[in-house]
Structure 1
């Protein structure tokens, strides 16, 4: 029984992700999501009482998946630069490999439909990045900027690189573009 409940919830979230990225929040009705998920509209409301609840749940899940991907293999890195580069590579690769999720995060990261509670809970998933940046600043590895600004620049720069890769032809060397993007960011951060 629990498996069936999880399957319906997952189907609803997948359908919502697809439709929100294609049509936006206002252009997507709960009836469309239900139909795409293969469930009754009443079933959707059993899991998510409002469309806003659905979007917040989806945002929380996608951002959680992203944070796990970003931290993958981080423990194997020894230097500050290598750790930051690993997070960068993981983020860029995730964006290229998970285009719908990437688009969703970009569309809704500043959305008024994402509650403060959801944003605060999601940010707990990224404490490892905040701690790493704080350590880099305190150790003098990077300039004494606001950690929040560094993280925002890190994220927006990675979005630019992912979009560049997605918008380019297939002959593009994605690893080189990712490396070049990191070097641009790194040179702006590192103390001279």
Structure 2
């Protein structure tokens, strides 16, 4: 029974992701999401009482996946630059391999659905990243920039590199990722 519940919820989240990135939040109805997921509309409301709850639930799900991907295989005993670079590579690879999810995060962050509560809940998933940024600030690796600015520059720059790789002429993907890292590294650090 639990598997069936998880399958329905996953189907609803996937259908919502597909439709929101294609038609937008306002252009997508809960009936369309239910139909795409192959469940009754009433079933959707069993999992997500409102459309806003569904949108936020999807955001939490996607950001959780991104968080796990960013920290994957990071050697937290290595140098600060190596940890920062590994998270960069992980973020870019995740964006390239999960383009719909990546677009959804951007779409959500520019929407009226994001609230301070949403931000706070999601940031709990990224303690490792905040700790790394604070390590860079405390150890003098970064220039005299606010933590939030560093985090935003890192993420927004990753979006630029993902788009560059996806929409440019054939190129050396790893070189583009490394060049992007060097640009962000030189821009944020004191070196």
TM range (shorter): over 0.9
- Number of residues paired by the alignment? 191
Alpha-carbon distance in 1 for matches of 2:142, 2:117: 31
TM-score, length-scaled by structure 1 = 0.96
Distance of 1:3 and 1:188 partners within structure 2: 47
Query: 2:112 — aligned with what?
Result: 112
Corresponding residue number in structure 2 for 1:190: 189
Contact 1:56 1:115 in 2 (8 A): no
Q: Equivalent residues in 2 for 1:1-192 (5 A)?
A: 1-75=1-75, 78-169=78-169, 171-192=170-191
What are the superposed Cα offsets for residues 24-64 of structure 1, whole Å, 9 maximum, x if unpaired? 00010111101100001111111111100000000001001
In terms of mean alpha carbon deviation, does 148-157 or 124-133 score higher? 124-133
- 4+ runs deviating over 2 angstroms: none
Q: SS in structure 1 opposite 2:101?
A: helix
Q: 1:190 & 1:44 partners in 2: Cα distance?
A: 47
Which whole-Å CA distance do the structure 2 matches of 1:77 and 1:95 have between them?
26
Rounded Cα–Cα distance in structure 2 between residues aligned with 1:189 and 1:140: 11
> Separation in 2 of the partners of 1:134 and 1:114?
24
Unaligned runs of 5+ in 2: none
8 Å Cα contact 1:30/1:41 also seen in 2: yes
Distance 2:184 2:114 in 1: 28
Unmatched 5+ stretches in structure 1 = none
